Structure formats: C-alpha cells, structure tokens
Amino acid sequence: MFFAIEPALATLSDRNEVLINTYRALRQDPAGVIKLLSQYPHDERFYYRMRAQKPTAPRRIAARVLYLNRTCWNGLYRVNRKGVFNTPFGQFTNPTICDEDRLRLAARLLRRARLCTGDYETIVKSARGGDFVYFDPPYITGHQNNGFLKYNAPLFSWDDQQRLARLANALSHKGVFVLVSNANHNAVVNLYSGFQYYEVTRNSNIGSRSSTRGIVSEALLANYPLLGCRSEVI
C-alpha cells in the first residue's frame, strides 16, 4: 500500500526485522544492492547456497532477501520454528531478479518513511486525529469454517485479534482513519462494531498447482467509507 499511494510521510513497521532491514539497506544504498542483485543468476544450486547464507552487511542482507523473494516458490516468505527461511526453489522460466528502475524508485520513496520493528500497539501510540493507520495482520484464509482458530493461532492468536480490534476502536475514537485487512470470518468481523465491512476476493497464490488454488474471500474493515465500494455497517 505504501508503494502504491506514495504518501509524503509514513511510518512502516513489521515484526519481521529482516524485512525492515532490507528496506533500510535499499534506502541507504540502492546502488550497492542493485550491483549485487544484477550478478545473481537464476539457478537452483545458487538459490540454495544463497538461502543457506547468513550475511551481516546490510546490502547483502537486502540483496539476499530480494533474490529469494523473486526466485522462491510463489514468492512465499516462510520460516521454520528457528526463524530460518525454508521456502523451496520456484519453478519460474525467466524471473526478473533485478528491476533497477523499480528498486531505485522504492529507495526514493522509502526516504519518506520512518522504519520500525516492534509491536504494532507501541508503533501507533503517536497517531493523532486525521492520521491514517493500516493494519494487515497475518492470517490463514483457507479455514473459514474448519478450525479457523486452531490454524491461525501460531500466526496471530484470538487474543491478538481481540487486542487489534480494541486498538482499532481506540484509534477511531481519537479521530484516526483506520483500515484493517483480515480474514473474512464472522468472529473476526464482529469484533469491529460500528466499522464499515467490505468483502473482497482475490486469487489465491498458495497451492502446488495454479488450477487448484481458487478464489479467496477476505474482509476490509474501515471506520470510514471507501469511495466507490459497497459496504455494510457492522
């Protein structure tokens, strides 16, 4: 969303420190990141060597993350319980590993942003009336009526969902514009009393074959009307 709307000022936050460090490195040294990426081949053996690396130099951290994202299976960022990235090699014909123009534009836009890691509740404490806050919590969409709480608990527990909804309501009462993308599950939607509810659909990117992935339904929850979109008040 940040790269799409290009705000003049923004705060970007995530619990994934590797992602935020990648943004920082790209912002500070786009030329260095681009130079490394342009040397990386689309090769399965090279992919697994890169996946096993643990670089410490910022530009190498960023180049590794971007390379793995462009060449791994479905661009899926997945880690094991030890926090080690473990997505397998993707079966792409000719992926774009280094889009120099796009990376330089991203670097310029990131100079407008404050980059943070940490808990979302701490990050938005400084939000004031008139600010816009977007939350995109992790969730699995494939278990609407089949173990939703069980499958999502390791990612974002029910307590987490309730805490997020309380925070969204508190921000709304301060005059902050709030938008939440979430699972289209009745229990989740009902947490946002007074918010506008929008059902959206998208193609799923998860699945071994594109023919079996299907359409996923998700929810947008906003304390303001989205222009041109039909909604209902919860």
Which ranges in the chain are annotated with CATH 3.40.50.150? Answer: 119-233
Segments of the chain assigned to CATH 1.10.1020.10? 16-111
Q: Which two tokens stand for residue 153?
A: 């608990």
Check whether domain 119-233 has CATH 3.40.50.720, yes or no? no
Tell whether the model's pLDDT for residue 212 goes beyond 60: no
Helix (H) or strand (E) holding 120: helix 120-123
Residue 129 has pLDDT above 60, yes or no: yes
CATH topology of domain 16-111: Adenine-specific Methyltransferase; domain 2 (1.10.1020)
Name the pTM for this structure: 0.85
C-alpha triplet 231, 127, 193: angle, nearest 5°: 30
Q: What is the mean pLDDT of the chain?
A: 89
Structure tokens at 194: 């007074």
pLDDT surpassing 80 at residue 147: no
pLDDT in tens, 165-194: 999 999 999 999 999 999 898 889 999 999
Report the Cα–Cα distance between both ends of the chain, in Å, rounded.
25
Please give the structure tokens belonging to residue 68. Answer: 């793995």
145, pLDDT greater than 60: no
In the chain, % of residues over pLDDT 70: 88
CA dist., res. 220 & res. 202, Å (int): 12
pLDDT band at 150 (very low <50, low <70, confident <90, very high): low
Distance CA 202, CA 184 (A): 12
